[in-house]
Amino acid sequence: MAETAEASEAAGRAEPRGRVVEGLRAYRLIAAMWIRSTMAYRTSFVLTTFGNFAMTALDFVAILLMFSRVDALGGWSLGEVALLYGLSGISFGLADLAIGSMDRLGRRVRDGTLDTLLVRPAPMLAQVAADRFALRRLGRVTQGLLVLGYALVVVDVDWTVAKLLLMPVMLLGGAGIFAAVFVAAGAFQFVAQDASEVANAFTYGGMTMLQYPPTVFALDLVRGVTFVVPLAFVNWLPACFVLDRPYPLDLPGWVAFAPPLVAVACGALAGLAWRAGLRSYRSTGS
Amino acid sequence: MGVGSGRLYAAVAAGGFRRYATYRVATAAGVFTNTVFGLILVYTYLALWDERPQLGGYDQAQAVTFVWLGQALLAALAIGGGGFEDELMERIRTGDIAVDLYRPADLQLWWLAADAGRAVFQLLGRGVVPFAFGSLFFPVALPREVSTWAAFLVAVGLGALVSFALRYLVALSAFWLMDGTGMLHMAWIAGLFCSGMLLPLNVFPGALGEVVRALPWSSLLQAPADVLLGEAAPLGTFVFQAAWAVALLAVGRLVQSAATRRVVVQGG
């Protein structure tokens, strides 16, 4: 609690500060508090970090098991699927690390503890995002990095400057897109508190889908994740560029470089949804 | 166990059912999510069986059925955990468990009854719709004989018993670890990997396949699925599941008595 008190005090000071800076500071303080709190149970922390790593590795084990029986899936080799997997895992892992606790918002609305956050002089989004900040989620990022490393060793990519530049751009853009989905899912919980599980269909479901080649899925499904919830920009389209593969849905070549723009657009929409959600919030009153 | 205590546990089970039935929006959200996951998985399985028809002895329709069965049983059999263990662990951590031990009811039976009520609700509330969706929109292999469906339901029931016994052990670990999150994660991994949820166990290669099929988790999804798909003899499957259920419930008893002695020491 010391840190939150400190945060309130800092935010309460008269000096003018940008709301973003203030939010980031609050975020950092709350996250630091949760890290300290987690470290009180060290055995459990080690187990959960390993668990997080193993849990995410499990998906890749499934892919390895599949490839122990086949040579290609939807026309893609193991190395190419591993590339998709690593990119999807890292992007999702970064977003999950940063704001993965958004699904607790519904619970806070239900039990009334959201009111506590409202009276604190720090931006709501920063508080909710940092709630239960969990370092163990680095397990997923680490695992994604390992698989990506493996893929880059195995796959014979014809590297160009554009492709090299695209790699970090798509990872950050992808994390941004997933983060926007998390925020939108949080906003949705202002309306339907018990429906936090719907978000899993888009976050975890989306991540799982992106681990497999687009050629595997029905066209309507691919259209849905390109034009409705634009997850295809996280890794499918940039990876097609890197691997010199045909794009799904015959999309033009430049879309591979669109992830940052898509992330910004999604972020803006998610931000609007968040504001609308927060405005519509009525306390339980108890 | 007398008639009176039988009624007590029936009431607890009914309470478990009603408790989960209360959250209709959450149930609808769960149904939606299970259906989306089913959709994603079914296409990966279709691609896999396109490459290798008859993989693991299943044809494509059986593989598709397996996917939707997995989504239907995921919540009911708490394959990835969920249900009562979070709550029991919290009671152990806070010490509320001492009050539970005072009650004139058996701890293991009490939680078993509550979990059975939950399982029945989630089978109906969360299982039926995704399965019906899958059966309508994808080619599935379903048996015509009523007896096969009945045998399938028995296998699901026994699977629920094994699932409870496993999760009870996980929950009791909180007596020693206090914060059980790590154990929950481990149980989650074992549940998904060894039950067939990740990939049907008959697709696992060689010795790994032999091992996972012999472990208790195969009772959760693989066993009922193989009964429904006509790939396993019902009686042999029941014996396998029942043996694991009895063994794990007995271990749960032993651990419980060891843990209870610990509570008395703490409280003294």
ipTM for the complex?
A: 0.85
pLDDT of residue A55: 82
Report residue A194's pLDDT band, with 50, 70 and 90 as the boundaries.
confident
Any alpha helices (H) in chain B, and if so which ranges? 3-21, 24-51, 60-76, 85-94, 97-102, 107-122, 128-137, 146-172, 174-177, 181-195, 206-214, 222-228, 234-267
The phi, psi pair for A182, rounded to 5°, reads -60, -45
Closest by CA to B177, choosing from A158, A102, A48, is: A48
- Smallest CA–CA distance from A38 into chain B, residue: B179
The tens digit of pLDDT for each residue in B178-200 reads: 777 778 888 888 999 999 999 99
Spatial neighbors of B29 by CB under 8 A, at least 6 apart, are A192, A194, A195, A196, A197, A198
d(Cα A188, Cα A10) in Å, to the nearest integer? 31
At A64, the amino acid letter reads L
Residue A73: which of B47, B183, B193 has the nearest Cβ?
A: B47
Q: Which helix (H) or strand (E) holds A99?
A: helix A78-99
Regarding pTM above 0.90, the answer is: no
Pick among A41, A42, A43, A44 to test the B interface (most B CBs inside 10 A):
A44
Give the SS3 label for residue B157: helix
Residue A136 has pLDDT above 90, yes or no: no
Q: What is the span of the domain harbouring residue B13?
A: 3-267
Checking if the pLDDT of A93 tops 50, the result is yes
**pLDDT(A241) > 60:** yes
Question: What are the C-alpha distances in Å from A53 to residues A57, A127, A153?
Answer: 6, 26, 21
Whole-angstrom Cα distance, residue A132 to residue A135? Answer: 10
pLDDT band at A240 (very low <50, low <70, confident <90, very high): very high
Please state which of the ranges A125-134, A169-178, A263-272 shows the lowest mean pLDDT: A125-134
Domain extent listing, chain A: 2-279
What's the token pair of residue B109? Answer: 């039976």
The DSSP bridge partners found for residue A76 are: A73
Cα separation values, B201 from A238, B166, B213, B242, Å: 34, 19, 6, 19
| Residues of chain A positioned with their CB less than 8 A from the CB of B188 | 51, 55
- Chain B residues whose CB is inside 8 A of the A51 CB are 182, 185-186, 188-189
Gap from A215 CA to chain B (nearest CA, Å):
9
Q: Looking at beta carbons, which residues of chain B come within 8 Å of A201?
A: 32-33, 36-37
Residues of chain A with pLDDT > 70, as a percent, come to 93
Q: Is B199 close to A73, i.e. CB distance below 8 A?
A: no
* Distance from C-alpha of B75 to C-alpha of B33, rounded to nearest angstrom: 11
Task: Report the pLDDT value the prediction gives residue B34, as an integer from 0 to 100.
Answer: 95
Structurally, chain B folds into a number of domains equal to 1
Q: How much is the average pLDDT of B93-116?
A: 90
Q: Distance from CA of residue B68 to its chain's centroid? A: 15
Instruction: Categorize the per-residue pLDDT at B264 as very low, low, confident or very high, splitting at 50, 70 and 90.
Output: low
Retrieve residue A118's tokens: 């409202």
> Does residue A1 have a pLDDT over 50?
no
